[in-house]
Structure 1
Amino acid sequence: MFLGRRTELSLLTKRLDYITRTGRGLSVAIRGRHQVGKSRLAQELCDRSGLPYLYFTAVKGASVIRSTGRFLTELANSHLPTSRMPAPGDTGLDPDGAPRPGLLGGWGDMLRVLAGALPDRPCIVVLDELPWLSEQDETFDGHLQVVWDRLMSNRPVLLLLLGSDLHLMQRLIAYDRPFYGRADNLLLGPLNLAETATVTGLTGSDAIDAHLITGGLPGTLLRWPAGTPADDHLRDQCADPSSPLFTVPEQSLASEFPNPDVARRVLEAVGGDARTFANIASTAGSRAGAISSGTLSPLLRQLTDDKQILTADQPLSTSAGKPALYRVADSNLRLYLSILRDVHTLTQRGRPDAGYSLFKNRWSSWRGRAVEPLIRISLEQAVITGSVPWPEAQAVGGWWNRQFNPEIDLVGADREPIATRIHFCGSLKWLGTPFDNRDLHELHEGARQIPGFDAAHTGLIVVTRSGADLPADAVDVVWGPDDVVAAWQP
């Protein structure tokens, strides 16, 4: 079952059309976190296109000899014509197509063999987990550039380069690397909220709950029984120690942070809701004290800019503001670090009921904060579709001062983090009670402190899970869960 990804499939199909029309090759670097569906997308493209293809997946830690041997075997057994393969003695193949270990060359030779096996008609070559090939051979990027420029780019081939290590995949096409300028860059994110609603068969707040829990990861969503609310699904999952709700984020942590080092402690501190620099330094510190600024600052840059596993939110207004607030970018991993890891421990000890009770005790509070970035990006999406009356609001964030008194949940502006105009501000209430006059009074009082707020021209919006009990025309827009989901509908 293949879900969503219409935009990505369309972009890749257009490249196949170009290759068919011109007879020239194109390459695309597709990066995304573990379990986001990169491999499934590439396989779906291969299947739908009907073109001959090679799909090779690297193995982490494999030797060059073993890896190239697997590559030759997969090439010989692929959909690409084997009649163009060089003679067995030139490639390290026996006459039956099996590799002969004593004659295997390095990755430079293997890429030349691949180029020689390409047919005269359009085809697809997928190299999955490319960073692991670079680990095996530090000259791989250079060989790939030479073979692409001289032998492959003038052939009708779509070369897809896949990788889960976002930093290394970015480095592959960076300006100081050999393959710079040769591959289009496609960042594959999770499924969007509307796709989550379709997969789970849920609507409104139930669909939003499912999206927050799964992070929109396809592999996790496919295990969600259609029409099952979050509470019921979590009760079942708490009885299964091997549930993907536990294993997927656990595997992601193990692959990207195999050692319990300072970076791992920083990530776990943020996942435990340490949001400010000072709180992170204290929480992730050791017996010797808090982490020093000289150590923490570059670590946070690495986790936000390179690994993109953290996000730094800045207060949005017409003036520069502090402090930045950090959060785990993937809501599934964020939930795991905050709640599900403790739930998993109880489940493994044979106490699923206690695990579910723990989840219920922490869930509402966690959800109230975790839903904020989803609402903000949904409002940005609504601006694009014209669903809200502020077409010039290109950025949606929040605002706070150093004392966090007040914190304004929603601020829409023409740009970020320093805007020239504030178009709207608003409040988000995701609890079990309606947004009422008391909440409205707090919004009015807090909004006046936002630099750039103009009571005569700045709009007001309320986003609430349980409706609003307000006088008519008290605010410009009231959004409920169905409106949030509808913002993502095509």
Structure 2
Amino acid sequence: MTRFIGRKKELESLKSVLKKQSSSLIVIRGRRRIGKSRLIAEFGSRMHTIFFAGLPPSPETTIKSQREEFARQMQRELQIPLPRSDDWGDLFWTLDNSLKKDRVIIVLDEISWIGSKDPDFLGKLKNAWDLRFSKNPKLILILCGSVSSWIEKNILSNTGFVGRISLDLIIREMPLSDCQKFWKDQEGNISHYEVFKILAVTGGVPRYLEEIISTQTAEENIHRLCFRREGILFNEFDRIFNDLFAKRNEIYSKILKFLAERTATLSEIYKILEVQPSGASVNYMKDLIQAGFVTRNHLWSIKTGKVSNLSYFRLSDNYIRFYLKMILPNKNQISDSLFQKRSITTLPSWSSIMGLQFENLVLNNFLPLCNMLNIPLEEIQQKGPFFQRKTKIQQGCQIDLLIQTYYNCIYICEIKFSKNHIPSSAIEEVKEKIKRLVIPKGYSIKPVLIHVNGVSPKIDESRFFAHIIDFSQLFKS
């Protein structure tokens, strides 16, 4: 098993249930490859832990085949005769009877695969918990899955499970401070810009980072993982969406392809799907948000601090955007081995895609950024990418990240990528944004510049920016 990295807070949350004098029902959810199973294995490394995994969705997978597979896993894990698989209630009863009364962790991995087609599964599981599993004070039952929307609807919002769940743990991308540990053996020999280029493709997804060869350059790693037909990230997009969304994967893919080009409102999503406003389309967006691929940013009034009804959706998963923008358009050539010696940095739009990925990484690491800016989290009234709509009385304006505090202070963050130093023209660009932005009287403005490869000496000398933050500083927070 690979070396376990990070997840300190998540482990602390899990370990806290061990202090209880009663059984625990835990829900763990997050996007595919985010490290849910690996986290559970680390948590249960000194305890008796039994994993049961559902069969991936396919036209051949049935309710019966899921029960039969569960029974076979019980036979192997518990070393018992093959149990009858006619009924989930009988399977759970046999499972409980086969357990010793020592500390034990039972994991139902990819819970939606196991139960989504079976209308009786959750009811039988709820009864088994109430009548059997919960009676063992040393038992922990973990329901784990990648389809967070299914878990939200069928477990967390299900009246049958209300009051029974001890912990609902959402696993997100690793912070930069943990990501850099994948290069620990090259500490001091590799620049943060080199690490950034990898993270621009992988984001903070540990399964992807495990594939990094630390002695290779960023370009060599990206080429091996993305631009060879045997590379793990070459077909990853199709695997994710076939596993997560099955028959509806084309709808989700269409939405993401649109968001890879620009942010969009819900009404614009309706247009590209060619549908009328409906609950189904809203649910598509909820699914993508809960899967960790999309973020919804609400606009707000700076004057009142109140959230507006208007919101924008943005693609917040670096791998998804990189695949749609850089791998998919070249997929046939890659499949025909025509990318063997091509320099990926010469691909059209390489620099622009790096800029978008850089912005994503900064936005996804908001907490360490606040530490750098010395902003207590409890003082933040609103935060996020900010759009000011053009009207007859005001100009349009877009801010990469705006942080508004309860003490009438506004941080205007310019997230700027360049493979060279940021030129002094960045000062005028930010001044123009501030000029356009409608700001009530009595507010202080704090311009912030976030960069990855240094800034022009003129920017330092101007003292215009309240904070100039090098991307490398976010690795240390």
TM bin, normalised by shorter chain, reads 0.7 to 0.9
**2:208 aligned residue (208, 214, 220):** 220
Which of 90, 115, 125 is the matching residue for 1:109? Answer: 90
Within the candidate set 141, 154, 157, 1:159 is matched to 141
Q: What is residue 92 of structure 1 aligned with on the other side? A: none
C-alpha distance in structure 1 between counterparts of 2:436 and 2:308, whole Å: 12
In structure 2, do the counterparts of structure 1 residues 457 and 302 end up closer, same or farther at CA, with 3 Å as the change threshold?
closer
Secondary structure class of the residue paired with 1:448: helix
Q: Does 1:371 align with 2:328?
A: no
Secondary structure of the corresponding residue to residue 234 of structure 1: helix
2:180 — aligned with what? 197
Aligned to 1:12: 14
Q: Is the 8 A contact 2:292 2:317 kept in 1?
A: no
Task: For 1:80-119, list aligned pairs within 5 A.
Answer: 97-99=80-82, 103-119=84-100
Deviation at 1:448, TM superposition (A): 3.4
Q: Mapping of 1:311-390 within 5 angstroms?
A: 311-315=295-299, 317-318=301-302, 324-353=311-340, 356-357=343-344, 360-383=347-370, 386-390=371-375
Distance 1:304 1:422, change over 3 A: farther
Cα distance in 1 for partners of 2:227, 2:295 equals: 32
Is the 8 Å Cα contact of residues 316 and 397 (structure 1) preserved in structure 2?
A: no
In the alignment, which residue of structure 2 is the partner of 1:232?
A: 220
Q: 1:64 to 1:262 in 2, by over 3 A?
A: closer
Residue-by-residue CA offset, 1:351-394 (whole Å, 9 max, x unaligned)? 115865487322210121232232234343332xx432333336
Matches within 5 A, 1:18-417: 18=20, 22=21, 24-46=22-44, 48-49=45-46, 51-60=47-56, 62-78=61-77, 97-99=80-82, 103-155=84-136, 156-183=138-165, 184-200=167-183, 201=186, 202-237=190-225, 240-259=228-247, 261-273=250-262, 275-276=264-265, 280=269, 284=272, 291-293=275-277, 298=282, 301-304=285-288, 307-315=291-299, 317-318=301-302, 324-353=311-340, 356-357=343-344, 360-383=347-370, 386-391=371-376, 392-393=379-380, 395-403=382-390, 405-414=396-405
State the distance in 1 between where 2:225 and 2:364 align. 29
Q: In structure 2, how many angstroms separate the alpha carbons of the residues matched to 1:372 and 1:5?
A: 23
Unaligned runs of at least 5 residues, structure 1: 83-96
Q: What is the deviation of 1:332? A: 0.6
Q: Deviations over 1:101-148 (max 9, x none)?
A: xx5431011111122222222111111111122134212111111221
Q: Structure 2: which 5+ runs fail to align?
A: none
Task: Work out the CA distance in 2 between the residues paired with 1:177 and 1:355.
Answer: 56
CA distance, structure 1, for counterparts of residue 96 and residue 332 of structure 2: 50
- Match of 1:127, SS state, is strand
Q: What is the TM-score normalised by the length of structure 2?
A: 0.84
* Residue identity (%): 19
Whole-Å separation in 1 of the counterparts to 2:316 and 2:147: 15
State the TM-score, normalized to the length of structure 1. 0.82
Q: Distance in 1 between matches of 2:26 and 2:279?
A: 36
Give SS of 1:484's match: helix
| Contact in 2 for aligned 1:238/1:344 (Cα 8 Å) | no
Larger deviation: 201-210 or 186-195? 201-210
1:259-308 CA distance string (max 9 Å, x none): 464443222221243635565555x35xxxx5544589536544455555
Partner AA of 2:52 in structure 1: F
Give distance in 2, aligned partners of 1:317 and 1:374: 26
The one-letter amino acid of 1:171's match is: K
Distance in 1, Cα, partners of 2:424 & 2:346: 31
Matched residue of 2:222: which SS? helix
Shift of 1:179: 1.7
Whether the 8 Å CA contact 2:416–2:451 is kept in 1: the answer is: yes
Per the TM alignment, residue 244 of structure 1 is displaced from its structure 2 partner at its CA by: 1.4
Higher strand share: 2
Instruction: Note closer, same or farther for the CA distance 1:154–1:340 as it changes in structure 2 (3 Å cut).
Output: same
The answer (yes or no) to whether the contact 2:420–2:453 under 8 Å persists in 1 is yes
Q: In the alignment, is residue 480 of structure 1 matched against residue 439 of structure 2?
A: no
Q: CA–CA distance in 1 between the matches of 2:252 and 2:275?
A: 11
How far the C-alpha of 1:239 sits from its partner, in A, is 5.2
Q: 1:458 offset after TM fit, Å?
A: 2.2
Q: 2:431 aligns with which of 438, 444, 465?
A: 444
- What is the CA–CA distance in structure 1 between the aligned matches of 2:85 and 2:225, rounded to whole Å? 47
Query: 1:197 offset after TM fit, Å?
Result: 1.5
Measured in 2, the distance between the counterparts of 1:141 and 1:359 equals 52
1:205 and 1:358, CA in 2 relative to 1: closer, same or farther beyond 3 A? closer
Structure 1 residues 314 and 58: alpha-carbon distance in aligned structure 2, compared to 1, 3 A threshold: same
- Count of residue pairs brought into register by the alignment: 452
3-state secondary structure, aligned to 1:434? coil
- 8 Å contact kept, 1:263–1:299: no
In structure 2, do the counterparts of structure 1 residues 308 and 388 end up closer, same or farther at CA, with 3 Å as the change threshold?
closer
- Deviation per CA, 1:65-116, whole angstroms, max 9, x where unpaired? 44434434433443x6x7xxxxxxxxxxxxxx3326xx54310111111222
Taking the aligned partners of 1:454 and 1:425, their CA distance within structure 2 comes to 16
Instruction: Give the superposed CA RMSD.
Output: 3.0
